[in-house]
Chains A and B, each alone.
Chain A
Amino acid sequence: MATTIAEIQKEKQVGKRLRRREDPRLITGTATYVDDIQMEGMQYAAILRSPHAAAKIRSIDTKLAEKAPGVIAVYTGKDTEKVGAVPCGASLPGLRVPHHNILAVNRVYFVGHPVAVVVAQNRYLAQDAADLIEVDYEPTAAVAEPEKALASGAPAVHPEWPDNVAFTYHQDGGDVDKAFAQAEVIIKQRITSQRLIPMAMETRGVVAEFRAADRQLNLYTSTQIPHLVRTLVASMLSLDENRVRVITPEVGGGFGSKLNVYAEEALMGFLAQKTGKPVKWIESRRENFLCTIHGRGHVDYYELAAKRDGTILGIKLKIIQDVGSYLQLLTAAIPTLSVLMMPGIYNIPSIRADIVGVFTNCMPTDAYRGAGRPEATHGIERMVDILADELNIDPAEIRLKNFVANDKFPYATATGLMYDSGNYAAPLKKALDMVHYKKLRQEQAEARKQGKWLGIGISTYGEICAIGPSPATPAGGWESATVKVEPSGKVTIMTGACPHGQGEETTFAQIAADELGVSVDDVLVVWGDTAVVQYGIGTFGSRGTAIGGTAVYYALQDLKEKIRKFGAVLLEDDDVALADGKVTSKKTGQSKSVPEIAAAAYRAMKLPPNTEPGLVSTHFWEPPNFTFPFGTHIVVTEIDGETGDIKIRRYVAVDDCGNQINPLIVAGQVHGGVAQGLGQSLWEQAVYDDSGQLLTGELTDYAVPRAHMMPWIEAEHTTTPSPVNPLGVKGVGEAGTIGCSPAVVNSVVDALSPLGVRHIDMPLTPEKIWKLLRKGA
C-alpha cells in the first residue's frame, strides 16, 4: 500500500529503531577526536612517571632532557606547585583529602604518578627527552591492598595519616538490631568486587591553546563533563572561568573514566601558558592503565537476616573501599551509591552500612560503568542466592517472595530512596519463560546425574539512574537544553549533556521531531563546547536521556508555546493548534508551517504583544527524583569438569528502562553493558603486586572481552514508564553491566553447588573453578 508523505511525517519518531545520525562521520573516518586536532606550531608533551609506588624524590636532573633535540621546556613539580590541586568533588564528614599536585612534589604515591613533563616539537622527540630525565628516588614501603593497608603496622600511604583511613561512613535504616534478633537464619559472606580498568578505546588526551592577550585558554579534552572541567581547571590555573573554553570533540568512550578532572588537563593549560604555543598530550595505553581512574575495588562483608520462609528482614554491610592514593573527583562518593542500592529491589525494612575508605599506593578508584551500583547489586543478588540455597528454596521463588509489590510504588527504601515505579516480577517471569526454566531445572537434574556441570543463574537487579537530583549530586544534578528554531525552520538543540557513543544526537532529534512535527533530518544536536552551549553537567550515571532529554522536552514545550503565539498572530486567530509541523487556525482551517512561523519570528514585522523576537528557549531541568530501572538477567552455563572452563550457553536479558526513544540504541547499550559485566565476571582484574606494581599494565595481560569471547545476548524488555519525567524514560547505559555479574556468578555457583560451593569471587577464572572442582572431587 502506498504511503503518502503527509502520513510519514505524522509517524512518531520516538520509539523507532532509527539508525544514528552521528554515524556518517564515524564510519568514514572523518570525525575529530582530540588526537586528530592539529594546529600551527603545536607542541607535544610527554610525561615522566614514577616507576615506584612509594618513594621520596631526592632530586630530579633535567639538564640532558633540556638539551635534547627539539625540546622547548621541561618542568617538574617545583614549577607547578602553585597550580591548584586536582579536585576532590565528594564531601563526606571527616574526609581526608590529600593535596593532589599536578606533578609530584617530594614524594610519589603510585606507579605512574607524574613527576616531570617535557614539551618538544613532536611526540617522538618529547618521548626521547623524557627518557633523559634522571630522577633519584628513595623507595619506601608501599601497600597495594586495602585490607592490608588497614592492618596495624602497614606502611602509611600518606605519612600524615598512618591508619590509611580516608573516610568512614555510617548509615542506618529501620531497626537492624531487631531484624537480626528476630532472624531465624543469618547468612554471612565476604564478597569482593575487584579493581577494574575502564579501558575506553580512546585514551585520554588534551590540547591546550592559550591566547595571552585575552588571558583565554582553549582546552580540547576527551571528557564526559566539559563545563565542570571548565570551572575546575579555571580555578586550578587561576583563570577566569568565562575565559576558559572547554571543547570536547568526538569522545571515544568514557564509561565513567572521563567523568573526572585530571592533572594533565590543568598541566597542559599550564604548559600552553608557559610556552605560548598550543600543546598536545595523548595518553598512551600504558598510561591509561596506570593513570586513568580504576573502578570498583570493594571488599564487602555482608550479613543477611531472614525468616525460614525466605522473608528477608535486614542486611548489615561493611564496605572496605580501595580508594587508591588520592581522591579524584567522585572517589569517595562512589561507595555511598552502593549503600543506597544495597536492598536491591526487595522489601528489606532494615539496613546498616559502614564504609571505610582506604588509601593504597595505587591509582585512585572512581566511577566506572555502574559506579557503586554493580557492587551493591552483586552483593544483594549473591546473598539472595545463598539464602535460597541455605533454605532450599528456588532462587526465582525467593525473589518473587521478597520483591517490592506493584502496589507499593512509590516505595521508600530503608536506605532513604523513593523507588519511582516498578513491576519486578514481569521481567523475571518473561526471562524464566524464555529459558523454559522448569524444563531447564529438569535438564540440570539429569546433567548432574551424568556428572555434568550445568548452572542457571538469576539476577533480578534494580539500579539508580538519572543521577541525579542536585541534593544528591556533588556538582548539581540537573541538566540544561537550549532549543532554537532557526529562521529557515531548522531546529538546533544545544544540550548540556555530553554524549560519547550513547546516541543522543539521534534520540534528542527524535524527541524534537515529534514535539515540533518536523523531520528528524531538520534537527541538529550540539554539545561539548562551553563557548557555544549553556552550562551543563554532562553524560554519566545513565542520565543523558532521562535528565538531558527531559530538559530538551521542556525547552520544546516552551518553544511550542512561542510557535503557537506567533502562528496565532500570522493566522489572526487566537484559537490555534500546533500539530504535524504546522499551526492551524481552528476557525478557518488555514495553517502556517513551522518554517514560515520561524521566518516571521525573526523578521519580527508583526510581533505579538509583549513578545521577544526569535524562537529560542532554554530550560534547566532539575529532576525531582532518580529513576529506578530494573530487570532480570538469566545466564545458563556449562562448566568443563576437567579444565574449569566456563561456557555461557544462554544469556537472556530482560530489561525495563521505562519508555524507549530508540530501541536499536537501547539494545546496543544493553549489549555493551553486558560485555563489560561479563568482562568483570570472567576475565578483567587490575592486579597490583605487593610492591604496588601494576601487573596488568597492558592489554597483553588485562583481558577485555573480544568478539569470540562474547555469547549471543537475547535482549528483551518490559516497559514500566517512569513517573519522574514526562518522557517516561529511566536510563539504560549501565543496566547491562549491573544486571550481569551476579547472574554469571550465580550460574557458576549453581553449577558447582553439588560440591557445596556457595560463593566465588570474580573474575571466575578457569583456574579458580578447577581448584574448586579438584577440592570437591
Chain B
Amino acid sequence: MIPQKFEYTAPDSLKSVLQLLETGAKPLAGGMSLIPMMKLRLATPEHLVDLGKLKELNYIRESGNAVHIGAMSTHFDIETSPVLLRKCPLLAETAADIGDLQVRNRGTIGGSAAHADPSADYPAALQALEARFVLIGADRERTVSGAEFFADAFTTALEPGEIVREVIVPIEEPGTGVAYEKVVQPASGFAIVGIAVRIRRSAGKITFARIGVTGLSNHAYRATAAEAALAGKSGSAADVQSAAALVTQGADANSDLHASADYRKHLAVVHAARAIATALSRSA
C-alpha cells in the first residue's frame, strides 16, 4: 500500500527530463501501472521524473498522411480526439476499451506502450496500424516499428535514458473498415485477447488487411499469415474463417488463471473472425 521513498522531479522541459533520465531516473507518465507496482513494492525506483508538466508531449496532430500523438496524450484524449475519430478510428475505439473512466483520464499512450503489458489493449491496434514509435534520449532520437518496439513481456526497444516521444499512426484511406474485439479479464479489465483489424476492399476484393493481436502471447504482434490469407479474397464467411484460423500462427500462447493457452488461442481465432467481419462491414 505504501511506496518506498524516492526523489521526485517534474521538469517543464523535455530537455531537462532527458538529462535526468541519463542519471538513471525513471519516467512517470500517467502512473496507472507504475504507481500500483510501487505501492506493492514490486517497483522501487529511486528517482521519478514526472512527465506530467511536459506540454510538448501532449498533442494529437495531423501531419501529411499520418497522425502524430504525443506520448502524454491520455486514453481519454485519444478516445475523444476529433482527428483520430475521423482519421484513425481504430485507435480511438481501442482507447475507449481500456480499463475504466478514471484510468482513461490519467493513463497515457506513451506510458502504456513503454510498460508493454502483454495484455494491454493499445498494442493490438498499434501493430495493426503499423505504428511508428519515436524514441528520444538526451542525445539521440530514433524511430522504430511496432515489431521492434514490443520485444517481450514488459520489455520494449526503449534503452535506459529513453522515453517514447510520440506515436505515429497512419491516416486511414477512405473506405477502410476497422474494428477492435476484446475479451475482458473480468478482474483486471485487461485483455485476455484483443484483436484489432483494418481492412479495405476494391472491386469486391480485399486489397489490404492488417491484424494486430494482444493478450495471446508475451507481446503483441501482427498476424501476417492471416493478413495474407485475406488478400485478394472477397471476404466471404469462409474467407474470414480460414484467415482467422491463422491469427495464432507462430505465437506462443500464454496460460494463466483466467485462460489456458488452448482457450486463448481459440478466443483469438473466434474474435479475429468477428473483428474481421465487423471491419469488413464497416469498409466501403
Q: Do A and B bind each other?
A: yes
> A242 within 8 Å of B by Cβ?
no
> B1 within 8 Å of A by Cβ?
yes
A643 contact from B2, B257, B258, B267, Cβ within 8 A: B267
A703 contact from B186, B263, B266, Cβ within 8 A: B186
Q: How far is the CB of B39 from chain A (nearest CB, A)?
A: 9
Taking CB atoms and an 8 Å cut-off, the chain A residues in 741-777 that contact chain B are 766-767, 770-771
> B43 within 8 Å of A by Cβ?
no
> B54 within 8 Å of A by Cβ?
no
B260 adjacent to A701 (CB under 8 Å): no
Contacts A700-B188, A770-B263 given; does A695 touch B2 at CB 8 Å? no
Per-position binary interface string of chain B over residues 28-55, scored 1 when its CB falls under 8 Å from any chain A CB and 0 otherwise? 0000000000001100000000000000
Contacts A642-B270, A701-B257 given; does A124 touch B2 at CB 8 Å? yes
B41 adjacent to A131 (CB under 8 Å): yes
A703 adjacent to B187 (CB under 8 Å): yes
B187 adjacent to A701 (CB under 8 Å): yes
Q: How far is the CB of A5 from chain B (nearest CB, A)?
A: 46
A695 adjacent to B187 (CB under 8 Å): no
B residues in contact with A642, CB < 8 Å: 270
A699 adjacent to B40 (CB under 8 Å): no
A695 to B270 alpha-carbon distance, docked (Å):
28
Per-position binary interface string of chain A over residues 685-706, scored 1 when its CB falls under 8 Å from any chain B CB and 0 otherwise? 0010000000110111111101
> A709 within 8 Å of B by Cβ?
yes
B263 contact from A124, A701, A767, Cβ within 8 A: A767
Name B41's closest neighbour in chain A (CB-CB).
Answer: A131
> A62 within 8 Å of B by Cβ?
no
Majority SS of interface residues in chain B?
Answer: loop
Contacts A127-B1, A286-B40 given; does A683 touch B257 at CB 8 Å? no
Per-position binary interface string of chain A over residues 130-157, scored 1 when its CB falls under 8 Å from any chain B CB and 0 otherwise? 0100000000000000000000000000
A766 to B258 alpha-carbon distance, docked (Å):
10
Contacts A131-B41, A643-B267, A767-B263 given; does A696 touch B257 at CB 8 Å? yes
Taking CB atoms and an 8 Å cut-off, the chain A residues in 462-494 that contact chain B are none
> B246 within 8 Å of A by Cβ?
no
> A123 within 8 Å of B by Cβ?
yes
A683 adjacent to B2 (CB under 8 Å): no
User: What is the number of residues of chain B that contact chain A, defined by CB distance less than 8 Å?
Assistant: 20
A residues in contact with B260, CB < 8 Å: 767
Q: How far is the CB of A240 from chain B (nearest CB, A)?
A: 35
B1 adjacent to A284 (CB under 8 Å): yes
> B259 within 8 Å of A by Cβ?
yes
Q: How far is the CB of A236 from chain B (nearest CB, A)?
A: 27
Name A770's closest neighbour in chain B (CB-CB).
Answer: B263
Per-position binary interface string of chain B over residues 54-71, scored 1 when its CB falls under 8 Å from any chain A CB and 0 otherwise? 000000000000000000
> A573 within 8 Å of B by Cβ?
no
> B4 within 8 Å of A by Cβ?
yes
A residues in contact with B186, CB < 8 Å: 683, 703, 706, 709
Taking CB atoms and an 8 Å cut-off, the chain B residues in 2-18 that contact chain A are 2, 4-5
Most buried by A among B5, B186, B259, B270: B186
B residues in contact with A699, CB < 8 Å: 187-188
Taking CB atoms and an 8 Å cut-off, the chain A residues in 274-311 that contact chain B are 284-286
A127 to B5 alpha-carbon distance, docked (Å):
11
B270 adjacent to A643 (CB under 8 Å): yes
Name B188's closest neighbour in chain A (CB-CB).
Answer: A700
> A716 within 8 Å of B by Cβ?
no
Taking CB atoms and an 8 Å cut-off, the chain B residues in 154-201 that contact chain A are 183, 185-188
Name B183's closest neighbour in chain A (CB-CB).
Answer: A643
A770 to B185 alpha-carbon distance, docked (Å):
16
A interface, how many residues as a size bin? 20 to 34
Q: How far is the CB of B45 from chain A (nearest CB, A)?
A: 16
A703 to B183 alpha-carbon distance, docked (Å):
14
Name A123's closest neighbour in chain B (CB-CB).
Answer: B2
> A128 within 8 Å of B by Cβ?
yes
Taking CB atoms and an 8 Å cut-off, the chain B residues in 255-271 that contact chain A are 257-260, 263, 266-267, 270-271
A770 to B2 alpha-carbon distance, docked (Å):
41
A127 to B38 alpha-carbon distance, docked (Å):
13
Contacts A696-B257, A767-B259 given; does A127 touch B2 at CB 8 Å? yes
A residues in contact with B41, CB < 8 Å: 131
B residues in contact with A683, CB < 8 Å: 186-187
Contacts A127-B1, A127-B2, A687-B257 given; does A700 touch B187 at CB 8 Å? yes
B residues in contact with A124, CB < 8 Å: 2
B residues in contact with A131, CB < 8 Å: 41
B266 adjacent to A770 (CB under 8 Å): yes
A703 to B258 alpha-carbon distance, docked (Å):
10
A687 to B266 alpha-carbon distance, docked (Å):
24
Q: How far is the CB of B152 from chain A (nearest CB, A)?
A: 20
Q: How far is the CB of B34 from chain A (nearest CB, A)?
A: 15
Q: How far is the CB of B41 from chain A (nearest CB, A)?
A: 7
Most buried by B among A123, A284, A643, A695: A643
A residues in contact with B5, CB < 8 Å: 128
B residues in contact with A286, CB < 8 Å: 1, 40
Q: How far is the CB of B216 from chain A (nearest CB, A)?
A: 15
Q: How far is the CB of A680 from chain B (nearest CB, A)?
A: 13
B residues in contact with A285, CB < 8 Å: 1
Q: How far is the CB of A448 from chain B (nearest CB, A)?
A: 21
A698 to B185 alpha-carbon distance, docked (Å):
14
A700 to B271 alpha-carbon distance, docked (Å):
23
B270 adjacent to A128 (CB under 8 Å): no
A residues in contact with B1, CB < 8 Å: 123, 127, 284-286
B4 contact from A123, A128, A706, Cβ within 8 A: A128
Name A283's closest neighbour in chain B (CB-CB).
Answer: B1
B257 adjacent to A695 (CB under 8 Å): yes
A residues in contact with B266, CB < 8 Å: 643, 770
A285 to B188 alpha-carbon distance, docked (Å):
15
A residues in contact with B4, CB < 8 Å: 128
Name A203's closest neighbour in chain B (CB-CB).
Answer: B1
Taking CB atoms and an 8 Å cut-off, the chain B residues in 265-284 that contact chain A are 266-267, 270-271
A residues in contact with B267, CB < 8 Å: 643
Q: How far is the CB of B237 from chain A (nearest CB, A)?
A: 13
B residues in contact with A771, CB < 8 Å: 263
Name B273's closest neighbour in chain A (CB-CB).
Answer: A642
B residues in contact with A687, CB < 8 Å: 257
Most buried by A among B2, B40, B185, B259: B2
B187 contact from A284, A643, A702, Cβ within 8 A: A702
Name B190's closest neighbour in chain A (CB-CB).
Answer: A700
A701 to B119 alpha-carbon distance, docked (Å):
13
A766 to B193 alpha-carbon distance, docked (Å):
14
Name B40's closest neighbour in chain A (CB-CB).
Answer: A286
A642 to B5 alpha-carbon distance, docked (Å):
49
A residues in contact with B263, CB < 8 Å: 766-767, 770-771
A591 to B225 alpha-carbon distance, docked (Å):
92
B residues in contact with A702, CB < 8 Å: 187
Q: How far is the CB of A773 from chain B (nearest CB, A)?
A: 10
B residues in contact with A706, CB < 8 Å: 186
A709 to B263 alpha-carbon distance, docked (Å):
21
Name A645's closest neighbour in chain B (CB-CB).
Answer: B183
A127 to B40 alpha-carbon distance, docked (Å):
11
Q: How far is the CB of A642 from chain B (nearest CB, A)?
A: 5
Q: How far is the CB of A655 from chain B (nearest CB, A)?
A: 27
Name B270's closest neighbour in chain A (CB-CB).
Answer: A642
Name B267's closest neighbour in chain A (CB-CB).
Answer: A643
Interchain residue pairs with CB less than 8 A apart (5): A128-B2, A286-B40, A643-B267, A643-B271, A766-B263
Q: Identify 5 new A-B residue pairs, CB closer than 8 A, beyond the known A285-B1, A699-B187, A770-B266.
A: A123-B1, A127-B2, A642-B270, A699-B188, A767-B260
The 7 closest A-B pairs by CB, nearest first: A703-B186, A703-B187, A127-B2, A284-B1, A700-B188, A767-B263, A642-B270
Which residues of A does B touch, CB under 8 Å?
123-124, 127-128, 131, 284-286, 642-643, 683, 687, 695-696, 698-704, 706, 709, 766-767, 770-771
